[in-house]
Structure 1
């Protein structure tokens, strides 16, 4: 679990990160979570955008992704989810 200080640090890092995944009307599926997991291993922090044609609750979408990828939710703001997972091989971010 991330502390509030760590979340604040990760939010400041994620400011310049662009969303690389989009959740559409099909919702979250196994292939998407696999790709998100691989991206988290490479980058450690990513943004996922929820499209307007997805009628699922954004917090539920975030929960589904984090359960499937074992990541942490940094923030859900608007239709964007910020996710963090410490990389095993490509560690770049030092948490306070």
Structure 2
């Protein structure tokens, strides 16, 4: 679970990121889930977009992809969403520490 400070940090990084995932009229196919999983392993932070023809809302698509790939939903704004999952080996993104 991400803290609000970590979420804000990731949102800042996502501003510069390109949208590399499109969910279209075919909805949530195994190919989309595989593509998301591969992109998260390579980049850790992924920005996606849900097209108007998609049968899912952006929130539904983001939450379903996060659930199926073990990622966290960072934000959903309009048709776009951002997902985060740290790499298993040598994470490139270092999150701010959580104060207890």
User: Is the 1:41–1:90 contact (alpha carbons within 8 Å) kept by the matching residues of 2?
Assistant: no
Structure 1 stretches of 5 or more lacking a match?
none
Instruction: Give the match for residue 18 of structure 1.
Output: 18
Deviations 1:4-43 (A, max 9, x none): 0000000001110011010001111112111111110110
Instruction: Give the match for residue 8 of structure 1.
Output: 8
Alignment CA distance shift 1:51-1:90 (3 Å): farther
Alignment CA distance shift 1:90-1:52 (3 Å): farther
Give secondary structure in 2 for the equivalent of 1:76. Answer: strand
The TM-score with structure 2 as length reference comes to 0.91
Report the CA distance between 1:90 and its aligned residue. Answer: 4.5
- Residue 64 in structure 1 maps to residue 55 in structure 2: no
Give secondary structure in 1 for the equivalent of 2:93. Answer: coil
Instruction: Give the match for residue 46 of structure 1.
Output: 46
| Structure 2 Cα separation of the partners of residues 79 and 43 of structure 1 | 21
86-95 vs 8-17, greater mean Cα deviation = 86-95
3-12 vs 59-68, greater mean Cα deviation = 59-68
Instruction: Give the match for residue 91 of structure 2.
Output: 91
| Structure 1 Cα separation of the partners of residues 89 and 52 of structure 2 | 35
For this pair of structures, how many residues does the alignment match?
Answer: 96
Structure showing greater Rg? 2
| Structure 1 Cα separation of the partners of residues 51 and 37 of structure 2 | 20
